[in-house]
């Protein structure tokens, strides 16, 4: 029986919608049938399935498993946990050919969705559109797949702890860290991990609650770090780490309460990596600070600026064989001693490891970074039909000008004052802007250039759009 998805749920990087309005069990069942069809066509058969702590997740998981088995795939159910635990199940088990995590990520409690991996690679873009077309046709084979439940939390924790391999645990005996799971799916895994880490660890909100009663689980928004900052200050901790709702994005603050943004975390990881792998490629998205790219180059590495989006970054990593990549949004990807996917718990372990190997506190590493003046990520509404064409117009106008223009993802313009970025979101009807300078006056001039280009295309920054 054919199935038509709501027009808003098939996104660039994943499938996402509002429970009871645009997404429900029938969608989950159709996703299972179509994913199984594609996997079997490609010679695969077994799919790992996990889910996050949202209230709607168990119902969607049940329907998804029904769909997968009805089209002849075997299912390994790994239960509730962070998205990277599902990725681990797919990457570490030889017989597993694909994986699906049911998660609403950092969206509000009434959202949910699906993140997928297909034979070791991200499943996104055209893959998701093809899944939608298959569902609309209902061209599914019938089958009767088997289902098994597998406990993998212990194996996953063991693998996370391997991030400290080669480090004298005595060097971390006195470290004191705060952790905030935000009532997300990473909570139980964090409890198990922290119990086995060297040092002293203080945990917040590890009980899983899909209503997120304490704060929204998005660690890239500074107000969501308030409780962690208070904990670090109250107990004089060395630093603090926070996770998003499904544990694939990291946020952090140092011992002085300063936010360590995604590109700054990547800078710390790069400094640690490049000592061990001289000349390695490090990828960051177009929203990252110039200071990061300069730092990687100064350390002898090869900085690569790439498109925003975790699936796009993962694909670029495979292509360039980069051992490290990251985004401003807190996705960090380790492929040197790990699997190349984004895992915030592993990123937390690697922050401990970097501090130990470099012989510097996280606060000192953050304090050594140049003081750039930059805007947060600004998002503003624009009609869906205009968002890409407006960027094309800006690019065309600037093509022959004096400024240096990078068109990797939108338009990133470098001038004597610094740089500014304008790009179209792949997942929403918004344009995203950011600017960075080393002076307030320079930042004002950069912002004026953004406003001028928008005005020439009949747009204005206007009201900020939410996520």
* E strand residue ranges, 300-344: 302-306, 324-326, 332-334
Partners of 406 in the β-ladder: 412
The pair of structure tokens assigned to 30 is: 């159709």
Task: Give the CA radius of gyration of the chain.
Answer: 22
Q: How many Å apart are CA 101 and CA 79, to the nearest integer?
A: 10
Residue 50 host element (H or E): strand 46-51
Give which of 241, 264, 263, 262 is closest to 252, Cα–Cα: 241
Helix axes 344-358, 262-276, angle to 10 degrees: 60
Residue 131, helix vs strand vs coil: helix
Partners of 452 in the β-ladder: none
Residue 203 host element (H or E): strand 200-204
> What is the torsion angle, in degrees rounded to the nearest 10, for the CA atoms of residue 118, residue 122, residue 123 and residue 127?
-110
Do the strands 46-51 and 98-102 form a parallel or antiparallel pair, or are they unpaired? parallel
Q: How many Å apart are CA 336 and CA 339, to the nearest integer?
A: 8
Partners of 314 in the β-ladder: none
Q: Any catalytic annotation for residue 311? A: no
Catalytic residue among 105, 355, 425, 457: 105
Residues annotated catalytic, as ranges: 105
């Amino acid at each position: 029986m054919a199935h038509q998805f709501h027009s808003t749920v098939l996104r660039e990087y994943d499938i996402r919608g509002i429970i009871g309005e645009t997404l429900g069990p029938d969608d989950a069942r159709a996703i299972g049938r179509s994913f199984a069809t594609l996997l079997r066509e490609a010679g695969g058969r077994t799919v790992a399935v996990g889910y996050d702590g949202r209230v709607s997740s168990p119902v969607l998981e049940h329907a998804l498993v029904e769909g997968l088995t009805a089209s002849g795939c075997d299912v390994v159910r790994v239960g509730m946990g962070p998205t990277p635990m599902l990725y681990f199940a797919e990457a570490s088990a030889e017989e597993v050919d694909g994986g699906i995590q049911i998660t609403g990520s950092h969206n509000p409690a009434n959202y949910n969705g699906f993140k997928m991996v297909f034979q070791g690679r991200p499943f996104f873009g055209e893959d998701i559109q093809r899944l939608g077309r298959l569902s609309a046709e209902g061209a599914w084979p019938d089958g009767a797949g088997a289902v098994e439940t597998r406990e993998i939390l212990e194996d996953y924790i063991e693998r996370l702890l391997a991030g400290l391999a080669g480090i004298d645990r005595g060097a971390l005996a006195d470290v004191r860290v705060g952790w905030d799971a935000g009532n997300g799916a990473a909570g139980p895994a964090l409890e198990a991990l922290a119990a086995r880490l060297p040092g002293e660890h203080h945990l917040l909100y590890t009980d899983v609650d899909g209503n997120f009663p304490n704060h929204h689980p998005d660690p890239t928004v500074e107000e969501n770090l308030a409780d962690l900052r208070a904990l670090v200050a109250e107990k004089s901790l060395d630093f603090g780490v926070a996770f998003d709702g499904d544990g694939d994005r990291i946020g952090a603050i140092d011992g002085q309460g300063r936010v360590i943004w995604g590109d700054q975390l990547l800078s710390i990881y790069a400094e640690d990596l490049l000592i061990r792998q001289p000349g390695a490629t490090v990828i960051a998205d177009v929203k990252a600070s110039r200071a990061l790219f300069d730092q990687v180059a100064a350390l002898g590495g090869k900085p690569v600026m790439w498109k925003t989006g975790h699936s796009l970054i993962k694909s670029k990593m495979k292509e360039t064989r980069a051992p490290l990549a990251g985004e401003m949004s807190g996705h960090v990807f380790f492929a040197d001693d790990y699997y190349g996917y984004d895992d915030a718990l592993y990123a937390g372990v690697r922050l401990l490891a970097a501090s130990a190997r470099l012989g510097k506190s996280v606060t000192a590493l953050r304090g050594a970074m140049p003081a750039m003046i930059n805007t947060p990520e600004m998002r503003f509404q624009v009609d869906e039909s205009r968002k890409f064409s407006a960027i094309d117009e800006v690019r065309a106008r600037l093509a022959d000008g004096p400024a240096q223009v990078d068109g990797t993802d939108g338009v990133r313009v470098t001038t004597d004052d610094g740089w500014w970025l304008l790009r179209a979101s792949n997942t929403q009807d918004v344009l995203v802007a950011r600017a960075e300078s080393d002076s307030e006056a320079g930042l004002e001039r950069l912002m004026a250039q953004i406003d001028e280009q928008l005005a020439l295309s009949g747009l204005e920054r206007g009201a900020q759009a939410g996520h």
